[in-house]
Structure 1
Amino acid sequence: MDGGGDGGRRPHAVFMAFGTRGDVFPIAALAAAFAQDQRQYGVVFITHSAHQSLSTHLADCNVRYMPVSSPPVLAAEQLESISCDSVQSNVEHDSFSQRKKTIQVEHRRECLSAVENVFGNDMSTHGDFIVINFFALEGWHLAELFQVKCIIAAPYFVPYSAPASFERQFKQSLPLLYKYFQEAPLNMVCWTDITHWMWALFMESWGSWRNDSLNLSPIPFTDPVTNLPLWYMREESPLLLYGFSKEIVECPDQYHTVGCFLNVQLLFTMLAEFLIIRYFRNSGSTAAALFAGIPQFYWAERLHWLGVAPEPLRRQHLILDTDNASSINNAADMLIGAIKSALSPEIKAQATRIANKLSSEDGIGEALRILKERVLPQIES
């Protein structure tokens, strides 16, 4: 392929990823691979300025690095200060919430500016698209603004789930839109997509940003004038590329599990070891959760099920209800047993077997194949 269908105009591909290194680096690797494979594209990578170390490697792969100033995670002292035990802590909480809101406003402003810098000066967006991870939902709304396709790529399963009351409240507040998704034709955006991950696009904070800054309807998939569902305009179910192995996590059939985003050449030599070490810990989302003191029950149980970790310790062995000698000794014995189990020849052998299976996977190569099959043919037509 050459310059596309607009008189030699060079199409643009924007890759946008936010979060910690485990969230961002695999998407950077995908951007680099795409730029090397599709040289007719101008490829841009938008992420936090804290990931500045990527810029040189991306430049070597003909990818333009565009930083935004927001931090990947909140500082530990900020997290620790949030408590409701006193008037003082309430003041700190209010201050923290205001600071968080200020960061969010500036973050979204910078995202809009960056994407506008790429797409804003072109009369045509033929061939253009945006790839986002689950922490870069700004990209979905910006793709709608600039009328380009949006693809989701993630090195882990959806890191958040809808509130238990989401469907009931959605049906009550937006009955016609609920019907719109429930009656969606095959392969179009449907309620399954909404409950799987797209529910987060309907949060109130997005609505105000869409309306005030993007001049879009506050609610996705509705007419900006009437606020009614776009009955006359159905969108295809978004392409979702999961960059993990089916050996590790089961995935719904309608989504693509392409295998690990772990190609040493494409992940840059300096990053490969980091990513391989962190893969089984659900990349950066787990790191951020641990940073905030949030237990990772799913991954602890999953690793035990795979045979590469001991059975997760019970709560009473981690947080003692009493401080008597018997309870302490019992908890210590359980911890010692878990460590011995983790170091056992059986677990080491199973970890080696799974590692060998993963080493044969080329998640980035498979993701590129799907992009070329599902996105680029539509662009050429």
Structure 2
Amino acid sequence: MDGCGGDGRRPRAVFMAFGTHGDVFPIAVCSSSLSLALAAAFANDQQQYTVVFITHSAHQSLSTHLAVSKVRYMPVASPPALASEQLDNISYDSVQSNAGPESFSRRKEIIQTEHRKACLASVEEVFGNDPSIHSDFIVINFFALEGCHLAELFQVKCIIAAPYFLPYSAPSSFERQFKQSFPLLYKYFQEAPPNTVCWTDITHWMWALFMESWGLWRNDCLNLSPIPYTDPVTNLPLWHVRAESPLLLYGFSKEIVERPGYWPSSAHICGFWFLPMAWQFSCDKCRELFSGDFNSSFEGILCANHAGLEDFLMGSSYLSLPIFIGLSSIGSVVTVELNDFYNV
């Protein structure tokens, strides 16, 4: 990475991650680690990186941890996940409490619009009207695809960081419909030179960038072409421009998932991004105990919630059975009998 711009401003690294704790916290760890590493690398340089982390305000607890490594926390008001019973608690001005029997999908659409507006405002605040420099970049997770379009708008590099394997795939009809709707763009990706965006990138994860809702936002709010990699006037592929394939970093071990040969060359398995122990507690008392703060005013006794968990894990009554912890729908595809496990 090459220092600061000609105007002497600091290069900027924007991390944008949305979703629940498991989606967001590993990316926050990356931003914190990178900030510390960059600070050490440029210790004698007056122009160090500005590192920013954009996520839901529900993850406010991250702000304290990020501040230690001089990462600026920028919250947006959208919820990490949305269920119909949560709508009454949403505070966006556009979602009126007297809106009547508005459908869940419609109100969800309003929240999505406000969310994207907040994302644009946050990134605009970071980059402003300054010209981008080569060292600027945006890192996103798969729930923050807004960042990919915003990287195009501000002409900065986009990197994708995922703490787990891509949880969804393109619809089975995607390639057929894409080829039918955009035959020249399909050819553009099929004939891509090495290390540039190609059809393998599209089918692996970038297909989601071509959904209709993104096209409306790109055209109406970002003044970009509705379809990525096309000219906004002619709607033809940018034959004279070949963008580099976005770097895709997976935060798990190759011992868990081997890298298949059909993945795009830009995809890399980097090992797990473990959270520091101090980040893993929701209460100050237990965090101080496990971080080794022996000067703490607490008495060395875990809170009721964590004490109960410790008792469960350390108790003898369950030692004869393995423990199955279900955090997702993976339980529906487990091939062993769950009766052989103690379920949490």
Report if TM-score (shorter chain) is over 0.5.
yes
Look up the SS of the partner of 2:28 in the other structure. Answer: helix
Query: Which residue matches 2:20?
Result: 20
Query: 1:263: how far off?
Result: 5.3
Query: Per the alignment, do residues 297 and 165 of structure 1 end up closer, same or farther by CA in structure 2, a change over 3 Å counting?
Result: farther
Name the CA shift for 1:7/1:122 in 2 (closer, same or farther; >3 Å): closer
Match of 1:159 in 2: 167
Alignment partner of 1:238 is 2:240: no
- Following the alignment from structure 1 to structure 2, what is the Cα–Cα distance between the partners of residues 251 and 216? 34
Q: Which moved more, 1:119-128 or 1:226-235?
A: 119-128
Task: For 1:159 and 1:215, locate their aligned partners in 2 and report how far apart those are by CA, in whole Å.
Answer: 30
Name the residue aligned to 1:256: 268
Q: 1:297, 1:167 → 2: CA distance?
A: 30
| Kept in 2: contact 1:16–1:139 (CA 8 A) | yes
The AA in structure 1 aligned to 2:276 is V
Aligned-pair CA distance for 1:159: 1.5
Q: TM-score w.r.t. structure 2 length?
A: 0.76
Distance change (3 Å), C-alpha of 1:116 and 1:48: same
The answer to whether the 8 Å contact 1:2/1:8 transfers is: no
Correspondence for 2:149 among 116, 141, 154: 141
Question: Aligned equivalents of 2:86 and 2:171: distance in 1?
Answer: 25
SS of 2:253 mapped into structure 1: coil
2:73 partner amino acid: Y
C-alpha displacement of 1:117: 0.3
CA distance change for structure 1 residues 41 and 167 in 2, over 3 Å: closer, same or farther? same
Q: In the aligned structure 1, how far is the partner of 2:132 from the partner of 2:191?
A: 33
CA shift at 1:76, angstroms?
Answer: 6.4
- Contact 1:78 1:96 (C-alpha < 8 Å) held by counterparts: no
Counting only pairs closer than 5 Å after superposition, residues 64-79 of structure 1 correspond to structure 2 as 64-75=72-83, 77=85
Q: How far off its partner does 1:297 sit?
A: 5.9
TM-score (structure 1 length as normaliser): 0.68
The 3-state SS of whatever aligns with 2:10 is coil
RMSD of the TM alignment (CA)?
2.8
Q: Which has the higher contact order (CA 8 A, sep 6+)?
A: 1
Question: What pairs up with 1:71-220 in 2 under 5 angstroms?
Answer: 71-75=79-83, 77=85, 95-220=103-228
- State how far apart, in whole Å, the 2-side matches of 1:233 and 1:185 are: 11
The 2-side partners of 1:166 and 1:138 are apart by: 21
Give the superposition deviation at 1:75. 3.0
Letter in 2 for 1:193: D
- Identity in percent: 68
How far does residue 121 in structure 1 lie from its aligned partner after superposition? Answer: 3.3
Corresponding position of 1:11: 11
Cα offset, 1:252, TM superposition: 3.3
Offset of 1:194 from its aligned partner?
0.4
Counterpart amino acid of residue 268 in structure 2 = H
Moved over 4 A (4+): 271-274
Mean alpha-carbon deviation: is it higher for 252-261 or for 207-216? 252-261
Deviations 1:30-64 (A, max 9, x none): 00011111121000000000000000111111000
Secondary structure (helix, strand or coil) at the match of 1:161 reads coil
CA–CA separation in structure 2 for the residues paired with 1:134 and 1:13:
18
Distance 1:77 1:31, change over 3 A: same
Tell me, what secondary structure is at the counterpart of 2:73? strand
CA displacement at 1:77 relative to structure 2: 3.6
More helix by share: 1
Tell me the number of residue pairs that the alignment of Structure 1 and Structure 2 aligns.
Answer: 283
Task: Quote the Cα distance in structure 2 between the aligned partners of 1:136 and 1:68.
Answer: 12
Distance (whole Å) between structure 1 residues aligned to residue 53 and residue 233 of structure 2: 34
Q: Structure 1 residue 296 and structure 2 residue 291: aligned? A: no
Structure 1: runs of 5+ lacking an equivalent? 80-90, 305-310, 314-334, 343-381
Cα distance in structure 2, aligned partners of 1:192 and 1:15: 25
Unpaired segments of 5 or more residues in structure 2? 40-47, 88-99, 291-305, 307-312, 314-323
Quick one: distance in 2 between partners of 1:104 and 1:124? 27
Alpha-carbon offset, residue 4 of structure 1: 2.0
| SS of residue in 2 equivalent to 1:140 | helix
Cα distance between partner residues in 2 of 1:18 and 1:232 = 34
CA-to-partner distance for each residue in 1:164-185, whole Å, 9 max, x for gaps? Answer: 1100000000000000001111
Q: Aligned partners of 2:67, 2:154: CA distance in 1, in Å?
A: 25
Hey, what's the Cα distance between the residues in 1 that align with 2:280 and 2:70? 17
Decide whether aligned partners of structure 1 residues 2 and 179 sit closer, same or farther in structure 2, where only a CA change above 3 A counts: closer
